[in-house]
Structure 1
Amino acid sequence: MLTFLGFLFVILAITITFVQPFIRKKHDDLIKNGSKIPPYIGFIAMWDLKLRSALFGFGLFMLLLAESVIFAKEGHQYYILSPTGARSTIMSPGIKFIVPFSKIQEWEKFIDIKCVALDKKGNYKQDVTGIEGIIPNGINVRFIDKVDANVYASVRFEMPSDDIAFIKLVETYRQPSNLINNTLLPTVSEQLKNVTFMYSAEDYVSGSATDYRMTIEDALKNGGFVVKKVEVRDTIYNEVGVDSVLKKKRGIKEINKFIRNEKIFVNGIPKRIPHEINVNKIITAQVIIDDVDLNKAFEDKLKQQRDISAEKIIEIQKVETARAAQQRIVAEGERDKAAERVKQEKMQVNTLIAIETRVKEEESNRQLAEIAVKTAELEARALLIKEKAEADANRLKVNAGLTPQERAQIEKETRIGVAHELSKMQVPTNMIIGGNGGNSTESLLQIKLLDDITKKQK
């Protein structure tokens, strides 16, 4: 807009300068003749040299301003080559000032590469608007077990944010299309083929898909892998049957040998080869593996294996069900046997407890009887000691000088007391009399003691 206005003002100033003498002369003639002056003649006639110079200068200013100001758009980077040969870049959006009449080259900050499938008419099956690099029908790769596949990948690259690297990139490739067609597309295709040859199709469908995709992303971001060729043996076993399951043994049907690439590690880190993406400091912002379309023959083989595996699983499940039923019957028998064993053991325990209780009761009775005998014996001894003490006391009193009257009175009272006690005592039928002419009182006491012990034992 500024450029258009600048050119308009400059051209207007130059035009007025050329037609000014003629218009001015006609204007003066009309004044002399007293004729009416048309507006446009009056307007042009009033533009003297100062006004024409000012108009011309303003037009030049507008042209210079238009060449000195650039509006940088979001998501774009700009390469600036000034008339003096100086190079610079614009990385951020907004209004920027540059040297007038510089050469400006605009680049997308992000470049998208995408594999797109084609229909039978050769048209893309999805919208490709905004995609700079398109790979029709994916990238054809081969796994180490000689299975072909078409890999559909979506990769987004980001231009270098470093000024020097971006300037070198622009000067090397000159146009974004050269960078896409000569570097990005071939490098993506090469890395996918190299990584795919590190895996087998069997591994991919058996659970290595995630690892496969992560390896592709790693190779595009950090450089290709230095690999070595390794011989791999793929052992194929015989069909799984009921007998093999029961015997837990499978025979080998065949062994396939093939060569595959394996990473070389140095101190635990994969050894790499930088590719053009890394060398030009292009950032791999995003890698998505949309699909891996395996060879149709291999997919048919997988379907057959899946059906066979399903039948094998059903047969194995039947075997396991029968085995479980057998184990259940055995377990139930063992359970019944254990229950009967516990019942018999409980009965034995009850009998043993009853016997042990009776034994303990008899033992307690015996101990009580022994204690009773000892108690009676102690009581008898205590009585004897008491009687003997009283007799000794009386003897000492007599020896101390009692009168014959007092001594007679004491003996009388003693005999009356003894007789009174003897009258109360029940004399047993059995009598023990000492051979050496013992005391009759002592003999009676002994007889009573024995009689009491005999009654307690009964």
Structure 2
Amino acid sequence: MLTLFGILIILLGIVTLVAKPIFKQSKLLLWFTSRRSLQIIGIGILMSVVTGTFFYAEPGTAYAVQYPWGGQKAVFRQGIHTKMWGRLIPIQFELPIKYVIPSQEHGLGEQSEYANVDEAKYWAFSDAVKARIATSVVISINTVDESQFLSVADRNKTEKNLIRSRIIPNIDQSIKNTCKLMDAQDYISGQASDFDRYFKDQLENGMYVLEEYVNNEQRDIIGDSSTVRTIVNKESKQKRFRIKFKDGKPIREEGNSLGAYGLTVVQAVVTEIDWETTFDKRLQLQKEEVAQTQLEKQQAEREFYRAQKEKAKGEAEKAAERARLEKEQIQKTIAAETEAKVAEFNLVKEKKQFEVEKFKAQSKKVAADAEAYQNAKLVNAGLTPQERAEWDYKTSVGVARELKELRLPEIFIEGSESKNSDNTLLESLIGADLAKQMMKKGEK
């Protein structure tokens, strides 16, 4: 720019110097004397010399300086450097290249003098679905190897030519190859990251060599093993491609990579995809179907958990009822065992009481027999009839009183021992009375 100003100033000085003698009466040329015209020419020559000798390197830009005598050098640092009237080829350290989907309101959006922005193109995926793919790519030049940078600058002449003739064709080829590797449905189903990875790898290391293959459809078994059917996909008739490998590594096209020019891919991503109208409609139907499926799935899960809740509630009620019945059973069992123990205890008690009363009765019987025997002896000893009658009366009254006071057990349980005894208590008492009467008759 300063060189141009210098040339213009030199031309101005020459014009005023030549025109002054011709247009002597011109008021415009009164100020330009011969001396001033020569000074202007000198200033222009000085500016041309200075600007041709030095240049200012902007930050973030590398310069290839090509001298008139054939030499060249690379400048990577900002500041003032010498160029000795040589040619400058400036190239940014990083070259932003964007494909943008234009909008009706803003077109391609905000432009920048440091970025190359183009309209996104339509590309066809493996299933023939077309879409405009917006990408954002950042390419970095080699600022370490000076000879390689100078070779790239020399072969491409300008930064714009480098972008148009080297970088953009590689970007387009990478997008094209990557689209062949997957269907549009695959892309929206989770392979978007694979798309970015394939895209960046091909840009930096070279294009994949693709091979066509046939995707064999597998048969689906319906019902039992004797009934089979094959699903025929209309898209299966279209060509399918995959990466060709050798020794576990993808085969690449030779001489078709940015790496050969010392360029490094800093960023390569897909920012937006504008699908064709037909696919948008199909995608919308799929979204609605997925939403409906999710809704039905949630309803099914809700019903399942509701059934589980009712089942758990029933089990809880069943457990509570079982516990209640077991409690009642235990209470009844304990009550029955208690009743049986009490009955057994009462039985033992009655037996003991019976034995006691039996022994009391036997004792009274023995006492009565002894008294009867004593009375008999007294009678035999010579009692008067009046004394004997009085004695008989008293004896009868005493025996009656004893029989009246005699209390037998209300409950009598006959055991094995009772069978071995000779007489019961009642038989003993009756026997004693009969014996007494017999004694009286004998005395008479």
TM-score range, shorter chain: 0.5 to 0.7
Q: How does 1:129-140 map to 2 (within 5 A)?
A: 129-130=112-113, 133-136=116-119, 138-140=120-122
User: Are 2:184 and 1:201 equivalent residues in the alignment?
Assistant: yes
User: Are 2:99 and 1:115 equivalent residues in the alignment?
Assistant: yes
Q: Deviations over 1:143-163 (max 9, x none)?
A: 112211110112122223221
Q: How does 1:30-429 map to 2 (within 5 A)?
A: 65-98=50-83, 100-118=84-102, 124-130=107-113, 133-136=116-119, 138-161=120-143, 162-232=145-215, 254-256=232-234, 257=236, 258-265=238-245, 268-273=248-253, 275-345=256-326
Amino acid at match of 1:81: Q
The worse-fitting range, judged by mean Cα deviation, of 83-92 and 61-70 is: 61-70
Separation in 2, partners of 1:293, 1:278: 30
CA RMSD after TM alignment: 4.6
Secondary structure of the residue that 2:55 maps to in structure 1?
Answer: strand
Structure 1 contact 83–102 (Cα < 8 Å) conserved: yes
Q: Cα distance, 1:189 vs. partner?
A: 0.9
Q: Cα distance, 1:260 vs. partner?
A: 2.6
Separation in 2, partners of 1:7, 1:172: 32
Amino acid at match of 1:93: Q
**What runs of 5+ residues in structure 2 fail to find an aligned partner?**
18-31, 342-444
Q: Cα distance, 1:233 vs. partner?
A: 5.6
Q: Cα distance, 1:304 vs. partner?
A: 1.7
Q: Cα distance, 1:253 vs. partner?
A: 5.8
The aligned counterpart of 1:436 is: none
- In structure 2, relative to structure 1, the CA distance for the partners of 1:75 and 1:318 (3 Å cut) is closer
Separation in 2, partners of 1:115, 1:104: 29
The worse-fitting range, judged by mean Cα deviation, of 221-230 and 62-71 is: 62-71
Q: Cα distance, 1:102 vs. partner?
A: 2.4
Q: Cα distance, 1:232 vs. partner?
A: 3.0
Separation in 2, partners of 1:332, 1:120: 62
Q: Cα distance, 1:194 vs. partner?
A: 0.4
Separation in 2, partners of 1:321, 1:187: 53
What TM-score, normalized to structure 2? 0.57
Secondary structure of the residue that 2:313 maps to in structure 1?
Answer: helix
Q: Cα distance, 1:278 vs. partner?
A: 2.0
Q: Cα distance, 1:90 vs. partner?
A: 0.7
Separation in 1, partners of 2:67, 2:81: 14
Separation in 1, partners of 2:260, 2:99: 24
Structure 2 contact 6–46 (Cα < 8 Å) conserved: no
Separation in 2, partners of 1:2, 1:111: 27
Structure 2 contact 57–79 (Cα < 8 Å) conserved: yes
Separation in 1, partners of 2:258, 2:74: 20
Separation in 2, partners of 1:331, 1:251: 43
Structure 1 contact 235–255 (Cα < 8 Å) conserved: no
Structure 1 contact 151–292 (Cα < 8 Å) conserved: yes
Structure 2 contact 138–267 (Cα < 8 Å) conserved: yes
The worse-fitting range, judged by mean Cα deviation, of 83-92 and 335-344 is: 335-344
Separation in 2, partners of 1:62, 1:125: 41
Separation in 1, partners of 2:114, 2:6: 36
Q: Cα distance, 1:281 vs. partner?
A: 1.4
What TM-score, normalized to structure 1? 0.56
Secondary structure of the residue that 2:271 maps to in structure 1?
Answer: strand
Separation in 1, partners of 2:273, 2:219: 25
Q: Cα distance, 1:292 vs. partner?
A: 1.0
Amino acid at match of 2:243: K
Structure 1 contact 144–201 (Cα < 8 Å) conserved: yes
Structure 2 contact 6–47 (Cα < 8 Å) conserved: yes
Percent identity, aligned pairs only? 24
Q: Deviations over 1:66-102 (max 9, x none)?
A: 433222111222111223311211111112234x232
**What runs of 5+ residues in structure 1 fail to find an aligned partner?**
17-39, 45-51, 238-243, 245-249, 360-458
Q: Deviations over 1:124-149 (max 9, x none)?
A: 3412232553332x122111122111
Separation in 2, partners of 1:117, 1:259: 28
Secondary structure of the residue that 1:114 maps to in structure 2?
Answer: strand
The worse-fitting range, judged by mean Cα deviation, of 299-308 and 316-325 is: 316-325
The aligned counterpart of 2:412 is: none
Q: Deviations over 1:88-123 (max 9, x none)?
A: 11111112234x2323233333322222334569x8
- In structure 2, relative to structure 1, the CA distance for the partners of 1:60 and 1:113 (3 Å cut) is closer
